[in-house]
Amino acid sequence: MMGRLLDHVARCYAPLILPSRGKIAQIEVPGPGRFAAQISACPLRYVLGDDLTQASAELAFADGARLVGCLDLLRMPAPHLWIEWHDEVHKRVIHETHSAAEFDSAATGRKVGILLHASADGLTAVGRTFWADAAADEQAQVTLSPVETHLDLRGEFGDAQDTEDILSGGFIAAVPR
């Protein structure tokens, strides 16, 4: 069984090189290794227990107004922050709250983490998400999501209305119904 995901990301130093195809040469893309030093130096790290993961997911997938109603009380606790959890617990809550039709059985054994870089006032942050299928073995490969998560606890995103550019680096707002 794999240890903490943050330890595995911190040991990723090899660049992520996409192989050449036809006339397209090899290209280096952002991979876990690009963030290894940042995670190693991250002063605040949380590895959530299953009970806290479940409570957090239940809050996030419950009545959205409950969470939005207290945004003015929330702040990122540090400029650099790592949070890690067991994905199986998270996915089970998503299924139980009927936010997903089926339970994602591939989440069993998977560990997920997010590296957050917050503003000085703690109201905005940019997150990079990592995961590894820990059930595989100690040498499980770490994957970096190609999507950055931008958090704005002020409830503002200036360019969030234009979803045409979402796959070209644009923003999309996720608001409660």
Convert the pLDDT of each residue in 53-104 to its tens digit.
Answer: 999 888 877 766 666 677 778 889 999 999 999 999 999 988 888 878 888 8
**Residue 72 burial (C-beta neighbours within 10 Å; 0-12, 13-18, 19+):** exposed
**Residue 138 burial (C-beta neighbours within 10 Å; 0-12, 13-18, 19+):** exposed
**Is the residue at 118 inside a domain?**
yes
Q: Is the model's pLDDT at 177 over the cut of 50? A: no
Number of domains in the chain: 1
pLDDT, residue 163, reads: 53
**Is the residue at 43 inside a domain?**
yes
**CB neighbours of residue 115 within 10 Å:** 23
**Is the residue at 21 inside a domain?**
no
**Is the residue at 130 inside a domain?**
yes
The residue with greater pLDDT, 26 or 115, is 115
Measured distance CA(34)–CA(140) in Å, rounded: 18
**Residue 170 confidence class, pLDDT cut points 50, 70, 90:** low
**Is the residue at 52 inside a domain?**
yes
Domain span at residue 100 reads 5-13+28-168
Structure tokens at 61: 């997938």
**Is the residue at 20 inside a domain?**
no
pLDDT, residue 98, reads: 80
Using only C-alpha atoms, the chain has a radius of gyration, in whole angstroms, of 17
pLDDT, residue 40, reads: 92
The residue with greater pLDDT, 101 or 164, is 101
**Is the residue at 175 inside a domain?**
no
Q: Name the 3-class secondary structure at 22.
A: coil
